[in-house]
Amino acid sequence: MAKTLSRRDFLKIGGVAAGSAAALAALKNVMSAKASTEIKTAAEEKIVASTCHLCSAGCGILVRVADGKAVKLEGNPMHPVNQGSLCPKGQAAPELLYNPDRLIGPMKRDRASGQLTQIQWAEAIQQVAEKLNSLRDAGHPEQAVLMHGDTRGQMRSFLARFMEAVGSPNVVSHESLNVAAAKLGTYLTQGIYGLPAYDLENANYVISFGANLLEAGPNPQRTISGYTYLRRGRATRGKVVVIDPRQSITASKADEWIPIKPGTDAALALGMANVIIKSGLVDADFVKNYCFGFDNFTSKGDHKGFRDFVLDNYDPAKVEQITGIPATTIARLAGEFAGNGPAVAMLPGKGGLLNGGFSGVYTAMAVHILNALVGSIESKGGVMTQHYMPCADYPKLPSDSVATAGLKTNRLDGAGTKFPLGRNSYQSIADQILEGASVEALFLYDANPAFETPGGKRFTEAFKKVPFVVSFSSFMDESAELADLILPEPTFLERWGDDHIEGFGYPGISIYQPVIEPLYDTMNTGDFFLKVAESMGGTVAKAFAWKSYEEVLQFRLKDIGADWELLKELGVWFNPGYRFAKRGSQHWIDNIVGSERMNAPRDGYFDLYSRELNCFLGEMKKEELAKLGISQTGDGANMPHYEPTTFMGDKKKYPFMLNVVTLMSLGPRSDAANMPTLQEISGMTVRETWDSWLEMNPQSAAKLGLVENDQVKIESPFGRISTKVKLVAGLHPDVVNLPFNQGHTAVGRFAKGRGVNGLEILNPASEPLTGLASFTNTRVKVSK
Amino acid sequence: MTDWCMVIDLEKCVACQGCSIACRFENNTPAVSPQESKNGRAIRWNDVFPLPLHIAPDQGEYPNVKTHYITRPCMHCKNAPCVKVCPVQATFTDEEGIVHQNYNRCIGCRFCTVACPYGVRYFNWFEPKWEETLAEYRNPDQLSVNGSLEGPAVRPTGVVEKCTYCVHRLVKAREQAKVEGRDFRPDEYVPACVQTCTGKARFFGDLDDPDSTVSQLSKSLRAIHLLEDSGAHPKTLYLAEG
């Protein structure tokens, strides 16, 4: 077939004909790549599907194993979260696997001398079993406590079951450090304790209240995929607005960045609600028929509803005074949000500004209610509810009087008692121990509380009071350094495990499998506890009849629809396609709205006036509420409202709010700080490397006479640290940012002694109602 | 003739640096020591950085500021200045438009690093070093052209190295097609950075095929080249934000 000359070819020929002498010279250097190209590669290669464990997204991975070595990770195209992509943490994972500072076998530490001795696994198993049995014999199994980090998939329920069989209610998740505020906000309104999934692919308008979609949310890769699809993947482009005092990468990529006075997000959300209601832009069907408390109502007296409460209190002019955002902007945002649906208001998980006291939970409620007002709950382009794969129920635990008695005791972290609304209060464990609570055995799984909590040094003292501390960390981190037994778990590339696929509403499972044989004498903690159970004998042994943790997974996942071999081959299995529940249907009542409420009615009504909160606060007097940091009384206390943050540190002496931010590169996990590549790229935004820095507005810096790279002292009422200053124009003048995951004093050669840990000088107190850690209510002074 | 080309949509790029690190692990460029890194001697063939590098006084004041980020692989110029200045033909453009770097021929004169308008040629000041067990994860692929090493093969000290559009992956894909007794299709090969891109911002393919994605995107009104006036005829395309 004769080829016609295209315009492109024509131009090319023209280009060559008119080419300069230089171009000809270049042509001379053209060589044939085909002439004698030769490629040598490994003798044996395979690709193994697994799951990444370096942040809470849990992306699917395909690992290239060449001659028995894991050399490269790629994203698993089958996995809905990352769809073949992988972030720098996942890409750098071989540095975790082959890290020279990994622990190579079980060890025990002599407390007096600090001397470490290598031991055998059998000895470790025996010691732990004996300890737990002695606690059970003494009738105090609750004195065994397990703290865990981002433990996902079946491991969480497995560990909980183990502790339940032993007889301790004390399994404490680290969520009070990050996602619990957002979960509580959803719980107190929608009645579901969990992070909402957002249908970004179909949303037309997205407003993020401090949610770092592109860097370090609870599921960054899922929000990145959603964001880029919404922006450039489909015919009509959606708009993204970011509310944040800091111009994060997310904010700089968004259509609009609205800097806000820190801690005032609730006022903005309610100001928007005010305009939406006033302008008649609410989804009338939803608020009238599926919401509780929009209008005033009568129940044992007259009560004010959300509408009047917001109309009376959150006029945009007043909100402007609080937030520093012009009233016209607030009105415009409200109009855009309500008028350009489907619209969704996103809550931050990690890295947000929610954790400044109970005001943070009110903020989460206010933001989530914006979705309800425009009918974006359980609708296309709005909020979805996360469903999970049906896992086979564990066999019923054998009856055991010791365990039953132990499980009836109050939780050590005060969840449900000292913190009536809290589910976990990770950081307060240190306070409880220091205040004299008796803890006889403490297990740290995937947890490094001595580093990752505000005022984490308290754990150093607390651990001294616990006679038996066990760490399962793969590295000698700050907490493992204080443990009596160090029982390293293999890295995620060498062990069995699984993870729930989250972020799309529909259920899915992604598994971890050993892509290579474990490099060192390590043991999967699941296998370890199985062996401990066996060694303990009695009812605990009966509760754990499996031979290996892999068997536990096979048992739990037997009903998901894929057999084990297929699951191993694909790495993932999910039921794609989210079906939105019909408003008011049985499915709606059973799974979507209100079904997890513990006190208030599970009637399928979305609470604009929180009846659940009323169960806790309804009877309280003004003084009692004030003690909890709540200035409103009566109906106001049950509805989201703006509470001025009670900052630690006087504004005159400590003019800046310290915001400790999580980066895409270093992420949330301590072991990632010991990966040299991540250290190298950590400071990309400010051209810094292998160090920490303090971000500051240039004008604020100028007032203090500071220039870029000056070494500065950062002082809060809780301590002082020192690092260099970087000038960042996109930052509220009253806020300074410090990246998280530097300032390690342990972990390994690459992490140790790099920069400072901002959490050291944060307020160590726990919020009195929920037990949440306080991340954003500490003020600091910055000086040369 | 195939003309390999990369297109990067800066609107979809979220500056995560996944590309940078995928490249590192594919092409054996290890992390350097903190001090060398501070001195700017870390080698990442595809770097990600804020643009402009430093805050200019005229860039606006809070809150009217906007930070931009860019990711920068080799542009694989059609009129590559680096090729022209190389006295020993260690760097050359192949028939399919990929600018190669041959380590055996390179004499380390660094003419090319100066000539390159984009700063994407990296001189190997030190022997690449993987501390202890870290050496285990090196990519075992060894590409040689005309008997001398290229691509991911571990470099000796004193040579210049650069992005090759992961040419060894191309060679492997072609061999695979041959083994399976079929024709090679251009969509069987993408560089590591394209494969990993979290925002799906990177596209790769044959610019000579009018139906390929990169050809289609090259016609976009947003399509730009970096330093268009450099005369180098850069090939890697960007789709501008906006």
Q: Does B55 have pLDDT greater than 50?
A: yes
Inform me whether the pLDDT recorded for A212 exceeds 90.
no
Q: Is A31 on the interface with B (CB under 8 A)?
A: yes
CB < 8 Å to A99, chain B: 133-134
pLDDT at residue A30, as a whole number: 45
Query: Is there a single domain that holds both residue A565 and residue A590?
Result: no
- Tokens (6 digits) for B31: 């992390």
How would you list the strands of the sheet with A497-500, edge to edge?
Answer: A497-500, A508-512, A572-574
A698 and A674 part of one domain: yes
Q: Over the stretch A741-771, which tens digit does the pLDDT of each residue have?
A: 999 999 999 999 999 999 999 999 998 888 9
Q: Give the CA distances from residue A600 to residues A99, A206, A665, in Å, rounded to whole numbers and listed in that order.
A: 51, 31, 42
pLDDT at A8 > cutoff 80: no
Closest-CA residue in chain A for B43?
A680
Cβ contacts of residue B75 below 8 Å, gap of 6+? B118, B120, B225, B226, B232, B234, B235, B236
Let me know whether A116 and A159 are in one domain.
yes
Predicted pLDDT of residue B1: 86
Which residues is A614 bridged to in the sheet?
A: none
Residue closest to A626 by CA, chosen among A643, A610, A642: A643
Between A81 and A22, the more confident residue is: A81
Which candidate from B136, B171, B192 shows the least CB-CB separation from A39? B171
Mean pLDDT of B173-201: 94
Helix (H, G, I), strand (E, B) or coil at A311: helix
What average pLDDT does this structure show over A707-722?
A: 95
ipTM for this prediction: 0.95
**What are the structure tokens assigned to A474, written together?**
């793969």
A361 within 8 A of A354, measured Cβ to Cβ: yes
Q: Answer yes or no: are the C-beta atoms of A475 and A179 closer than 8 Å.
A: no
Residue A549 lies in a domain: yes
Are the CB atoms for A549 and A153 separated by under 8 Å?
no
Q: Do B200 and A85 touch (CB under 8 A)?
A: yes
Domain with A419, as residue range(s), is 107-168+391-574
Chain A residues 223-262 with CB within 8 Å of chain B: 224-225, 227-229, 231-233, 247, 249-250, 252-253, 257, 259
Are A139 and A201 found together in one domain? Answer: no
Instruction: Please give the helix or strand (H or E) that residue B121 lies within, else none.
Output: strand B121-123
pLDDT digits (tens, 9 = 90+) for B168-183: 999 999 999 999 999 9
pLDDT of residue B30: 92
Using alpha carbons only, give the angle A90, A95, A97 rounded to the nearest 5 degrees.
90
Hey, which residues 689-718 in chain A have their CB within 8 Å of chain B? 689-691, 697-699
3-state secondary structure of A135: helix
Distance CA A553, CA A557 (A): 6
pLDDT digits 0-9 by tens, A62-88: 999 999 999 999 999 999 999 999 999
Residue whose structure tokens are 């005229």: B58
* CATH code for the domain of A483: 3.40.50.740
- With 50 as the cut, is the pLDDT of residue B29 above it? yes
Written as six digits, the tokens of B84 are: 């022209």
Please check whether residues A514 and A470 belong to one and the same domain.
Answer: yes
How far is residue A194's CA from residue A662's CA, in Å, rounded to a whole number?
21
DSSP 3-state of B8: strand
With b meaning 16 or more CB within 10 Å and e meaning fewer, what string describes A262-292? bbbbbbbbbbbbbbbbbeebbbeebbeebbb
Facing residue for A26 by CB, picked from B11, B84, B197: B84
Q: What is the pLDDT of residues A391-417, one digit of tens each?
A: 999 999 998 999 999 999 999 999 989
Using the beta-carbon criterion (under 8 Å), do B16 and A82 form an inter-chain contact?
Answer: no
Instruction: With beta carbons under 8 A apart, name residues in chain B contacting A100.
Output: 131-134
Length of chain A: 784
A22, pLDDT greater than 50 = no
The full set of domain ranges for chain B reads 4-50+69-239
The pLDDT of residue B56:
60
Query: Is there a domain that residue A69 lies in?
Result: no
pLDDT at B54: 63
Query: Domain check: are A232 and A251 in the same one?
Result: yes
Chain A residue whose CA is closest to B196: A85
Q: What pLDDT is recorded for position A487?
A: 97
Per the listing, tokens 């297990």 go with A443
> In chain A, which among 256-295 make CB contacts under 8 A with chain B?
257, 259
Is residue A354's pLDDT more than 80? no
* Structural domain includes residue A101: no
Of A220, A386, A708, A28, the residue nearest B15 (C-alpha): A220
Query: Do the chains contact at B38 and A689, CB–CB below 8 Å?
Result: yes
| Interface touch B31/A676, C-beta < 8 Å | yes
Q: Is B151 left (phi over 0), alpha (psi -120 to 50) or beta?
A: left
Helices A154-166 and A121-137 cross at an angle (nearest 10°) of 50
Contact yes or no for A86 and B22 at CB 8 A: yes
Asked if A580 contacts A572 with a C-beta cutoff of 8 angstroms, the reply is no
d(CA A743, CA A752): 7
Contact A623, A754 (CB under 8 A): no
Identify the residue among A31, A83, A695 best suited for mutation to test binding to B, counting B beta carbons within 10 A and taking the highest. Answer: A31
Greater confidence (B176 vs B56) lies with B176
Does A23 contact B at CB distance below 8 Å? yes
Q: Which residue has the tokens 């700080």?
A: A673
Q: Can you name the CATH fold of B4-50+69-239?
A: Alpha-Beta Plaits (3.30.70)
Among A554, A574, A594, give the residue marking a domain's end.
A574
Is pLDDT at A359 greater than 90 in this prediction? no
Asked if residues A188 and A607 have their Cβ atoms less than 8 Å apart, the reply is: yes
Residues A414, A518, single domain; the answer is: yes
Domain with A618 in it: what CATH number? 3.40.228.10
Q: How far is CA A381 from CA A203, A238, A254, A345, in A?
A: 4, 11, 18, 11
**Domain limit, last residue, from A525, A542, A574:** A574
User: B101, B161 in Cβ contact below 8 A?
Assistant: yes
**Considering only CA atoms, which of A36, A111, A121, A25 is closest in space to residue A532?**
A121
Give the whole-angstrom CA distance, residue B148 versus residue A660: 50
Helix (H) or strand (E) holding A470: strand A469-471
Number of domains in chain A: 3
What is the reported pLDDT for A353? Answer: 57
Is B146 in Cβ contact with A36 (below 8 Å)? yes
Distance, in angstroms, between B66 CA and closest chain A CA? 6
Task: Over range A507-530, report the average pLDDT.
Answer: 96
What is the secondary structure of A4-19 as a DSSP string?
PPPHHHHHHHHHHHT-
Percentages helix, strand, coil for chain B, rounded to the nearest 5? 25, 20, 55
| Domain's final residue, options A574, A595, A614 | A574
Check pLDDT > 80 for residue A3: no
Residue contact B18–A249, C-beta within 8 A: no
Mean pLDDT to the nearest integer, A669-698: 94
What amino acid is encoded at A454 in this protein? Answer: P
Residue A326 lies inside a defined structural domain of this protein:
yes
- In this complex, the residue of A66, A250, A684 whose CB is nearest that of residue B49 is A684
pLDDT of residue A222: 94
* A19 — pLDDT class (breaks 50, 70, 90): very low
Q: How far apart are CA A509 and CA B218, in angstroms?
A: 39
| Rounded (10°) CA dihedral B85, B37, A747, A760 | -140
Residue A30 lies in a domain: no
Question: Distance between CA A426 and CA A442 in Å, rounded?
Answer: 13
Q: Domain holding A660: CATH number?
A: 2.40.40.20
In angstroms, the separation between the Cα of residue B208 and the nearest Cα of chain A is: 9
pLDDT of residue A12: 45
Report residue B170 CA to chain centroid gap.
14
User: Above pLDDT 70, what percent of chain A?
Assistant: 95
CB distance A37 to B143 below 8 Å: yes
Q: Do both A371 and A480 map to the same domain?
A: no
**3-class DSSP state of A427:** coil
State the Cα–Cα distance between residues A544 and A157, nearest whole angstrom: 13
Residue with token string 């950062």: A714
Contacts with A42 from chain B: Cβ below 8 Å: 140
Whether residue A403 sits in one domain with residue A549: yes
pLDDT band at A15 (very low <50, low <70, confident <90, very high): very low
> What's the gap in Å between the CA of B158 and the closest CA on chain A?
22
Contacts of B147 in chain A (CB under 8 A): 36
Query: Are A233 and A304 found together in one domain?
Result: yes
How does pLDDT run across A294-332, given as a tens digit for each residue? 999 988 889 999 999 999 999 999 999 999 999 999 999
Chain A residues lying within 8 Å of B25, measured CB to CB: 71-73, 91-92, 94
pLDDT (tens digit, 9 = 90+) per residue, A580-614? Answer: 999 999 999 999 999 999 999 999 999 999 999 99
- pLDDT at position B212 is 95
* Residue B58, pLDDT above cutoff 70: no
How long, in residues, is chain B? Answer: 242
Residue in A202, A20, A73, A55 with CA at minimum distance from that of residue A499: A55
Contact list in B for residue A39 (CB cut-off 8 A) is: 141-144, 168, 171-172, 175
Indicate whether A378 and A413 sit together in one domain: no
The percent of residues in chain A predicted with pLDDT above 90, rounded, is: 80
Query: Which DSSP symbol is given to B57?
Result: G
| pLDDT exceeds 70 at position A16 | no
pLDDT in tens, A163-202: 999 999 999 999 999 888 899 999 999 999 999 999 999 9
**pLDDT tens digits, residue range B68-125?**
999 999 999 999 999 999 999 999 999 999 999 999 999 999 999 999 999 999 999 8
Q: What is the mean pLDDT of residues B151-161?
A: 92
Report yes or no: A686 and A738 within 8 Å, Cβ to Cβ. no
At A364, is the secondary structure helix, strand, or coil?
A: helix
